Structure 1
């Protein structure tokens, strides 16, 4: 699918500017003349394949765009589309570096990157892009909080050194990066499933002081208890990288993912917590959230595009508040 085909939709000329939809507002990244939202596609499921998952997430970015196209435009910041970074040659590390370089350049130009995945190997590229931004600014040791809505910790150790990671290793790679630079490692995983992670992974999460809130706890403890734990985590960090793996949702709500969840966390709870994250502010009044990505949409297994629609709703929610994110 070409980008032109992805950004097609209904036009309500009789409603004027108030009837505009996102496909009428999005601009090519080459036309970016002022700070805005920068959509970056990461067309890749090489990491999913290495992690022995169901491939198909490569087609995720364009499906998200297509689901976004008809959503209403709220006249916030300009929206630009960089297009897709593709992993077509099995060289995942190269694709992740290209993503990282694109993110850091977008941030240098004061854009707010929202990355459309793709497998959850996107997280290692997203984090590197944010880290490179702060390294280039030479502003000391950043305290970055990684918030992951996910049924899985994705803290595996790469089982084959020649492959350098998979969709199951990004947060281990982030932890090792932080250790090598003597940066603090702040990681919160919300919606993690006890039945989808081995004890070894729970042990590793504990050793790394990960804030882990299980899927069942998200229901039994109630939203406000979970929110308060998350706020306490956010208060410890300077900036936030938010990553949402769609398999945190129940399979009945999100069938189009690489690893469907038998239990999962309901969508209203996820969006409620995301909106709360969007309220977090730095001391100078800017928003703590700097970048976000959506991972693991697998159109091959979707039903009536319902998972793509959820992904689009999450992106739209982030864009709705994005005028506060740029710095």
Structure 2
């Protein structure tokens, strides 16, 4: 399912907006790029949020984010931008939807595209991980960086938006996890114990500043991995700026920190892909949350386009 990209067109002056650059492409018609190209893929799903007893609505986020992203100026007109549409969760089959998202992500990576995944509940990340692991093979070390108020290390009978990192760490000895923004009031004592048992590295919300220390931790963690995949759970942001989420955060971080941390992560040489999760348009106020995230993505496009290294350059085998 493809989004009809439209938006403002300036009649005078130089420069284009994102909707004038992005092209919709069938995932099965991708051809390998010699130079890295950025691609959007959406995940219309909040079944994981439902299973986690959260508030539904995140499945509407991918197209809402696109709508607000469309008219943002694009400052790298010589860099192409594609969209392979949305993966949809059908008949509450979360596991199949995550597998399909994984297929899309792997296909993009194998053809030298950098995926930006528009979730969806935070169960989006498990599909993101599946795609990265498929593209990289079983032997590469994958570092997972999560900007989040919650560990998402719960033990439940069913997988959900709160279980992904535990699932991955228990199944994949080549995966490591750094979580930034953890809130003591958002996680039980058992979750902190589980984090310690699984060797999770984390930075509490109140310890993010000074940023130099957080940047140093991110860089140290990244250097220990072959590749980095990044996820932003929007409920890490203070609810004054991001009210449209399943679990609002009164003590959440400010947007400037999200911008700074995201820039530092995507500029790591071994950065691979990212997702944005837990935007809930049905709970938003005057599009505040969706607009904020669209700006984070718009700025990220600039940071990625400034990078010289490509997916191919940093040594990923061609597994097509």
Displacement of 1:36 in angstroms is 1.7
Q: Distance in 2 between matches of 1:204 and 1:184?
A: 18
Aligned to 1:236: 224
Matches within 5 A, 1:47-58: 47-58=48-59
Matches within 5 A, 1:14-163: 14-15=12-13, 18-30=14-26, 34=33, 35-74=36-75, 75-135=77-137, 141-157=139-155, 159-160=156-157, 163=158
Aligned to 1:285: none
Query: Would you say 1:170 and 2:164 are equivalent positions?
Result: yes
Query: Would you say 1:298 and 2:296 are equivalent positions?
Result: no
Give SS of 2:12's match. Answer: helix
Query: Would you say 1:280 and 2:268 are equivalent positions?
Result: yes
Q: Distance in 1 between matches of 2:106 and 2:174?
A: 20
Could you list the runs of 5+ residues in structure 2 that have no partner in the other structure? 313-320
Corresponding residue to 1:247 among 226, 235, 238 = 235
Corresponding residue to 1:201 among 191, 206, 209 = 191
Q: Distance in 1 between matches of 2:151 and 2:259?
A: 20
Displacement of 1:280 in angstroms is 1.8
Give SS of 1:13's match. Answer: coil
1:26-65 alpha-carbon deviations (Å, 9 max, x no partner): 1011375545211000000000000000100010000110
Is this contact kept in 2: 1:150–1:245, CA < 8 A?
A: yes
Task: Report the CA distance shift for 1:302/1:45 in structure 2 as closer, same or farther (over 3 A).
Answer: same
Is this contact kept in 2: 1:13–1:19, CA < 8 A?
A: no
1:149-196 alpha-carbon deviations (Å, 9 max, x no partner): 001000111x22xx3x00001101111221xxxx33310110011001
Q: Distance in 2 between matches of 1:84 and 1:277?
A: 25
Q: Which has more helix, going by share of residues?
A: 1
Is this contact kept in 2: 1:112–1:291, CA < 8 A?
A: yes
Q: Distance in 1 between matches of 2:272 and 2:178?
A: 16
Aligned CA RMSD, in angstroms, stands at: 1.6
Displacement of 1:278 in angstroms is 2.5
Q: Distance in 2 between matches of 1:319 and 1:311?
A: 12
Corresponding residue to 2:271 among 273, 281, 289 = 289
Q: Distance in 1 between matches of 2:193 and 2:311?
A: 37
Give SS of 1:11's match. Answer: coil
- Displaced runs of 4 or more, over 6 A: none
| TM-score, length basis structure 2 | 0.91
1:110-130 alpha-carbon deviations (Å, 9 max, x no partner): 111110000000011000100
Corresponding residue to 1:12 among 10, 15, 36 = 10
Q: Distance in 2 between matches of 1:76 and 1:244?
A: 28
Corresponding residue to 1:320 among 294, 302, 313 = 302
Q: Distance in 2 between matches of 1:9 and 1:82?
A: 19
Q: Distance in 2 between matches of 1:84 and 1:303?
A: 24
- Aligned pairs, how many? 303
Is this contact kept in 2: 1:76–1:320, CA < 8 A?
A: no
Give SS of 1:241's match. Answer: strand
Could you list the runs of 5+ residues in structure 1 that have no partner in the other structure? 282-287
Displacement of 1:308 in angstroms is 0.5
